[in-house]
Structure 1
Amino acid sequence: MTVIPLSESWTVTALSGPAPEGVAGRAIPATVPGSVHLDLLRAGLIDEPFDGDNETTQQWIGDVDWRFETTFRWHEDGSERRDLVAEGLDTLATITLNGVEIGRTENQHRSYRFDLGAALVEGENALRIDFDAPVPAAHERSERHGARPHVNHHPYNALRKMGSSFGWDWGIDVAASGIWKPIRIETWSTARIASVRPLVDVEGTTGVLEAHVAIERADGLRRGPLRVEVEIDDRVAQVEVAPGETSARVRVEVPDADLWWPRGHGAQPLYDVAVRLADVDAWRGRVGFRTVHVDIAPDEDGSPFALHVNGRLIHVRGANWIPDHAFLTEVDRDRYARRIAGATEANMNLLRVWGGGIYESDDFYDLCDEQGVLVWQDFLLACAAYAEEEWLSREIEAEAREAITRLSPHPSLVIWNGNNENIVAYADWGWRSKLGGLTWGEAYYRRMFPALLAELDPTRFYSAGSPYSFSSYLSPNLDQYGTVHIWDVWNTKDYASYREWKPRFVAEFGFQGPPAWTTLTDVVHDAPLDPQGAQMLVHQKAWQGNINLERGYGPHLPAPKTIDDWHWATQLNQAAALRFGISYFRSLSPYNTGTIVWQLNDDWPVISWAAVDFAERRKPLWYALKAVYAPRFATIQPAGDGLAAVLLNDADEAWSGDLVVRRLAFDGTVRAEAVIAAEVEARGAATVALPAEVAAAGEPTGEVLVVDAAGFGRALHDFAEVVEQSLDRAPLEVRAERADGAVRVHVTARSYVRDVFLLADRGHRDAAVDTGLVSLLPGEEHVFTVTGAPEDVDPSAFTAPLVLRHAGDLRA
């Protein structure tokens, strides 16, 4: 096989639509893979799309038809087939080679292969790809086929294009066009490997690989037999593919195979697999041997959603994942690696790839394989009703087939999910009446997707949707059945209301907070800066988002008087809300088997639910998640008329020891104390009632309950909210020094101090800090280590009042 990459000498031209003077009709150098926005930016024809209100002034880009063109040379090599392979075109494209139309596309989420035949000529060739403007196309298709409910302002559900590229309640609207994945010429003879599905199982101690190999023959079905050989762990098996056959199944057994485990449960051994088709083609990949089962069997409480890998229950500590950049080609393997490290360092063991985005690149899944991060993968249908007629269903089936096949080697992928919130929207959001009999997607969720998985990859679990109660006769979002989404807290309730639910598994829930100060002010330039400023609201996509932030902190924190305090208060409240919710949900173990917080990441600089902002700065929420997702975690929860310590031990070793329980005044005076023996089995939980004389506050606004247990993070219970507490506004002694290439900030508490946090980027934009949200008792010291700051930065910059913060400094 000969491969000619087509990545050079591209131009892009605005053909029709509202392109401004200086852009219309002008051939602009284009980068492939890439996007129109980025090409215009590099050419100096638009300003930074994420800055200020440029989103509004650049809406014309999605209303323009764009033409990409290049030339390349080809010389006859005697091959029987000459194909154009486009891994990703975004989205409605007409492809012409030397004036001959060779194909059309209408799906960003799949690849295409076109036989060029006689259109490819000796010498120079001219390739042209014309893209229809996506925004008017989506509206036209919606009107033609029947408008169906959807969130946000464009009918993204009428086009197989990334839903969030049209904007979301955290995302910028940059729907445009481009060649977003590699494109190339392949010439070949005899046959080629069209795809490989290396499915695994474990039988006793033996790993079993069944490689399903699809073959394309250059001459159709006529030529003679072919040999397919599969090698794994120095073991080789082969089969002969008879004339007329285009597929093969090869079984290879690996005795005493090392099992692949989720992180925290064991190692992640990966086995190289080589598939060879005679001497004409080869495929290489990796697999990990493991089994997957999700228990949804009804019980006396409803029905669980309990994920088992290799027969072991996995308590899920996860986050939802959205596309990591609004311009997808800007995400490379290194960025994926940093983002996934952001998950693993916060003690997460699962990422859910959400259905309004994309099937991520192989780099994402490879890294999850290597790190033991489980993947829940949505099919790409989210928050909308989708037509089931042939014009759309053929594309959804094609993309699903390709995605299932491509992702089949990855041991990290354990769950396929039919959609995000579409079933609950039909059942509970009033869609049924709005649809008036139009199809809405049920055929995909209940028939197409499960049938495709049964055919192509029955080794993973399938859920028809999220949330889902695993019954057609129940509301899809009942907390005692299957998976639940909890959005009432963000939308209407105080975060203390999380205790109104008793969920088996929480697949979505979250609370907003702004990004780091530098990330925010790099793009928001309101003067003066204000939560309701014009540019601030451009970077707040949730309906009444900043009003919800104010409502959210009101019962808990003093009202901020400055924009600096608003920023700190809303970041702190976001962290407090999720810390409260996850602590409670985990305390329900084993009844509750997991949480997947919304969300880990951002795709542009925005006020959102993310734990790590677009500039990769970790918000206070990230530090809260690291604490509450610790494998060994202690929390204090209401129990009857009193309080109890709940110990979660997600480790292979049982634990026993003493709980040291103290009720302290804020000045450190011990008001009551007890020592209680406790034990927790491996991968288990234990609830220990706390004596009333210790657990009942004498002075709620000036006392704190403390539980210490060796090997667990300290558990604290505040008897009152910050807004009510008599916290010292200046409780810390502080000094900073340089040591070993870092800045070390030493803080010592003179009285009880809640949630000390160092906003490192406010000391220097490149700085980051190792720990955060540290609460201290009188006399205790903590050292923050700050990295990334240049040597000429004075260490005292990181002790300034707007840098080193704590909950009490919001008090008047």
Structure 2
Amino acid sequence: MTLRHLPLHDGWTLHPAGPVPSGLPTGGIPDGTPATVPGCVHTDLLAAGLIEDPYLDDNEIRLGWIGRTDWTYRTTFDWTSDGHDHAALCFDGLDTVATIVLNGREIGRTANQHRSYRFPVRDLLAEGKNTLDVHFTAPYTYAEELRDRLGDRPGAYAEPYAFIRKMACNFGWDWGPTLVTSGIWRPVALETWSGPRIASVKLLPDLDPEGVPFLTAEVEIEHDGLAAVSGSVGVVGAAAVFVLSEDEHRVTVGLSVPQAEPWWPHSHGEQPLYEVEVRVGDHLRRLRTGFRSVTLEEEAFRISVNGEPVFVRGVNWIPEDCFPSRLTRQRLSDRLDQAVAAHVNLVRVWGGGLYESDDFYELCDEKGLLVWQDFPFACAAYPEEQPLWDEVAAEARENVVRVAPHPSLVLWCGNNENLEGHADWGWQKELGDRTWGHGYYHELLPGIVAETDPTRPYWPGSPYSGSPDAHPQDPERGTIHIWDVWNRADYRAYADRVPRFVAEFGFQGPPAYATLRRAVSGPLTPDAPLLAHHQKAEDGNAKLLRGLGDHLPQPGTDFDDWHWLTQLNQARAVAFGIRHFRSHAPYCMGTIVWQLNDCWPVVSWSAVDGDGRRKPLWHALRSVYADRLIAVRDGSVHLVNDTPTPWAGALRLTRHALDGTVLAEETVPATTAARTTTSIPLPTALATPADPARELLVARLDDTRTLHFYEEDPALALPPARYGVTVTEEEDGGAGTPAYRVEITAETLLRDLCLFPDRLHPDAEADTVLVTLLPGESTTIRVTGAVLEDPSALATRPVLRCVNDRNTA
């Protein structure tokens, strides 16, 4: 007989096990109101109208009691014997500390959000109605009791997230709310079967020394030990059969797969994927994989795929929602599509979140996005005592096996910033002789990866310089994080260093106007208290203004100027850093911007805000992460060619007056080989302006152009912006809406022209922003997504902005 899988997602109710704040029914959700599984307490209470949306205004601060309350999920289901010998209750994810009771009998306990669980229940099932209870202990209760027993540990926040194997950022972060969840957050099902069952399949795709795709498959089989068990593994015309004796439960087979083609990151090639079939008796498992090899040169921190070094154009990924059960495959796909469209080729799954869903890794496989996966440890000293040590070992083994088939995964990393924290944040004095995580990062996790997934490199943490004895922030080896910029230093300080690999750096900016307008009621002003609640960084709004430095004027009390200038400054700051780092390739082999996404509406470092809207930073990334880039620094033009073919042609260098007059011009022959960078000294007539406040340099090769100003904007003699605008409505805007062509012709120089159509309709978006035009030049911006009541408003401020429109009376 084949395995039978019965989802148990219906009929759930939710009940608090203790008192709740006044104003809520004593039973939590009224009788008859269902809880949603998968889901969590917060989303159930929200759906029942018992709490306000925690993402809006300051509602979050009134919901702390949820994470300090015990909860019970309950359902009933009908069961009739189907003749199978075995039955198990299967929980793909429980958040977090739970006791499971079936028909009044306890069948198991859990204390790890990052694991799945199976409980044998054949002898406990009753014909007809069965009752299933899942009792959740409050996360704070469990974590604080363990903290009191083991002794406190230092961390970035005064929260006990290091004492519970749960998504750390649930407890709040400098971009996220404190929303401490409980619930059945992934699917639950009853499985019944007879005969042998495939318990797990580990696939390790690789290339052999000759470059031929090769698959190692390890199959674990549950059977009664009364007879031998046979099975097979097949992929793309290659197959292997196996036989296990009565006392064997695990087999490893290797398959050469010459008919398969190698998988590449999208910046280097195609992404062929192949179905693998594993069959044991009547039980069949289908998985999908792709074939590639991965190596890491540790000192240079150079990642190579199929023997070819990859300059990493990366972004950091945080949980896309504080309530991950709400995420759909489409929402993940949309966000990852935004990464690909910005020429990103690697996503780092940050250690304060989760091992991501199968959907996430499958989508990265399909889209050619490399994945760097942190183990879930971030910004704290983590105790190594029991029960935590065994929980970490179990979650790591399970998730390494689960994610191993995905060719997109190229690196396992032990933690985020804990090695730096121990070295530099004063932890050692506070810790004394207490454990802090060293054993996880240097012993347990590398041992599990070496045993379970030897096809991929392991790195103990980030930042890290390759040795426990070296300072973790050595720019000459391994990875560094740069946070003096944003926190203290001007963003020009990026140019003070030439690192091998920058795994975190970033600059804040507010979300889109429509996102803020949805999240914050009342007037929008730079100092509005409700807006301040959506700024979680320490001294964040002051740093936003301080970060403008001498780059842009101070906005004063005008919200529109504040919003525009701080968004623009975020884009410029990060773009400045990337240009600098990429111009030093191949010595520097990667940048991973903090961060791609947000989990709620917030002022943060993201390129895409919590409502999925692209900030100007996203458009800046699309420009500076392009395959070919021109950077001007230190008296030279640097041509960055991250393509498989040479970049050759006539480099045209022009020094202009701000009114467009050509002051000096030269054409220089230029050739840059594939995947390399070349430097061309600027001719004297172009390197030194006669009047820096009134001139700029334009460098162009083929269709790639960069503009270099000799002074910062406030010191430039920028003319008052003058331009002509024509708005034309078209039919094909997608989703049954029109498109609007906004053609702008510059009468004067227009510095960083941007269009913000979400100010007119929350669904409207522009296809490009951050365009600088010289006098006489034109650009066309396409607006899609919504029907606008007054399209002519696309031509007016504050929808249409440029830096020098502030000079216009």
TM-score (norm 2): 0.97
Q: Distance in 1 between matches of 2:552 and 2:807?
A: 8
**Counterpart code for 2:764:** A
> Residues 811 and 164 of structure 1: is their aligned pair in 2 closer, same or farther, counting only changes over 3 Å?
farther
2:783 is aligned with 1:780: no
**Counterpart code for 2:46:** L
> Residues 43 and 66 of structure 1: is their aligned pair in 2 closer, same or farther, counting only changes over 3 Å?
same
Pairs aligned (count): 795
Tell me if structure 1 keeps the 8 A contact 2:237–2:257: no
> Residues 24 and 501 of structure 1: is their aligned pair in 2 closer, same or farther, counting only changes over 3 Å?
farther
What are the superposed Cα offsets for residues 314-357 of structure 1, whole Å, 9 maximum, x if unpaired? 01101000000111011111001100110000000000000111
- 2:650 is aligned, of 658, 661, 684, to 658
What are the superposed Cα offsets for residues 713-738 of structure 1, whole Å, 9 maximum, x if unpaired? x1111111111112123232212111
Tell me if structure 2 keeps the 8 A contact 1:485–1:508: yes
- 2:138 is aligned, of 133, 140, 147, to 133
- Aligned to 1:153, the other structure's residue is in SS state coil
| Other-structure match for 2:449 | 453
Q: Distance in 2 between matches of 1:399 and 1:23?
A: 37
| Other-structure match for 2:734 | none
2:191 is aligned with 1:189: no
| Other-structure match for 1:593 | 589
Q: Distance in 2 between matches of 1:205 and 1:320?
A: 31
Q: Distance in 2 between matches of 1:36 and 1:687?
A: 57
Tell me if structure 2 keeps the 8 A contact 1:386–1:440: yes
- 1:725 is aligned, of 705, 716, 731, to 716
2:777 is aligned with 1:771: no
Q: Distance in 2 between matches of 1:358 and 1:23?
A: 33
Superposition deviation, residue 235 in structure 1: 2.3
Superposition deviation, residue 255 in structure 1: 1.7
| Other-structure match for 2:534 | 539
Q: Distance in 2 between matches of 1:729 and 1:326?
A: 45
What are the superposed Cα offsets for residues 27-47 of structure 1, whole Å, 9 maximum, x if unpaired? 442000011111111111111
**Counterpart code for 2:294:** V
Superposition deviation, residue 618 in structure 1: 0.3
Superposition deviation, residue 811 in structure 1: 4.5
| Other-structure match for 1:105 | 110
Q: Distance in 1 between matches of 2:388 and 2:20?
A: 28
**Counterpart code for 1:282:** L
2:286 is aligned with 1:245: no
Q: Distance in 2 between matches of 1:690 and 1:517?
A: 41
Q: Distance in 2 between matches of 1:473 and 1:440?
A: 16
List alignment gaps of at least 5 residues for structure 1: 297-302
Q: Distance in 1 between matches of 2:206 and 2:517?
A: 51
2:749 is aligned with 1:758: no
- 1:254 is aligned, of 252, 257, 270, to 257
| Other-structure match for 1:118 | 123
Q: Distance in 2 between matches of 1:249 and 1:538?
A: 54
- 2:182 is aligned, of 168, 172, 177, to 177
Tell me if structure 2 keeps the 8 A contact 1:397–1:448: yes
What are the superposed Cα offsets for residues 561-612 of structure 1, whole Å, 9 maximum, x if unpaired? 3011000011000001001110001111111001000000000000000000
- 2:619 is aligned, of 623, 646, 659, to 623
**Counterpart code for 2:215:** L
- Aligned to 2:530, the other structure's residue is in SS state helix
Q: How well do the aligned residues superpose, as a CA RMSD in angstroms?
A: 1.2
- Aligned to 1:522, the other structure's residue is in SS state helix
Of the structure 1 ranges 421-430 and 531-540, higher mean CA displacement relative to structure 2 is found in 531-540
- 2:549 is aligned, of 533, 545, 554, to 554
List alignment gaps of at least 5 residues for structure 2: 732-737
- 1:701 is aligned, of 685, 693, 697, to 693
**Counterpart code for 1:538:** H
Tell me if structure 2 keeps the 8 A contact 1:485–1:509: yes
- 1:739 is aligned, of 730, 734, 737, to 730
2:213 is aligned with 1:207: yes
Tell me if structure 2 keeps the 8 A contact 1:767–1:787: yes
2:44 is aligned with 1:42: no
Superposition deviation, residue 399 in structure 1: 0.5
Q: Distance in 1 between matches of 2:318 and 2:377?
A: 13
Q: Distance in 2 between matches of 1:448 and 1:206?
A: 32
2:603 is aligned with 1:646: no
| Other-structure match for 1:300 | none
- Aligned to 1:723, the other structure's residue is in SS state helix
2:677 is aligned with 1:682: no
Superposition deviation, residue 257 in structure 1: 2.9
| Other-structure match for 1:440 | 436
What are the superposed Cα offsets for residues 236-259 of structure 1, whole Å, 9 maximum, x if unpaired? 211101111110112221125311
2:233 is aligned with 1:230: yes
Q: Distance in 2 between matches of 1:513 and 1:139?
A: 35
What are the superposed Cα offsets for residues 703-758 of structure 1, whole Å, 9 maximum, x if unpaired? 1111011042x111111111111212323221211123310111111122211010
Mapping for residues 370-385 of structure 1, pairs under 5 Å: 370-385=366-381
Tell me if structure 1 keeps the 8 A contact 2:219–2:251: yes
Q: Distance in 2 between matches of 1:311 and 1:172?
A: 42
Tell me if structure 2 keeps the 8 A contact 1:199–1:209: yes
| Other-structure match for 1:62 | 67
Give aligned-pair identity as a percent. Answer: 49
| Other-structure match for 2:296 | 294
- Aligned to 2:383, the other structure's residue is in SS state coil
Q: Distance in 1 between matches of 2:24 and 2:467?
A: 58
**Counterpart code for 1:216:** E
> Residues 149 and 811 of structure 1: is their aligned pair in 2 closer, same or farther, counting only changes over 3 Å?
farther
**Counterpart code for 1:34:** G
> Residues 19 and 190 of structure 1: is their aligned pair in 2 closer, same or farther, counting only changes over 3 Å?
farther
Tell me if structure 2 keeps the 8 A contact 1:486–1:509: yes
**Counterpart code for 1:559:** Q
**Counterpart code for 1:726:** A
- Aligned to 1:468, the other structure's residue is in SS state coil
Q: Distance in 2 between matches of 1:137 and 1:20?
A: 25
**Counterpart code for 1:230:** V
Superposition deviation, residue 3 in structure 1: 1.6
Q: Distance in 2 between matches of 1:168 and 1:729?
A: 42
Q: Distance in 2 between matches of 1:789 and 1:744?
A: 13
Q: Distance in 2 between matches of 1:120 and 1:231?
A: 36
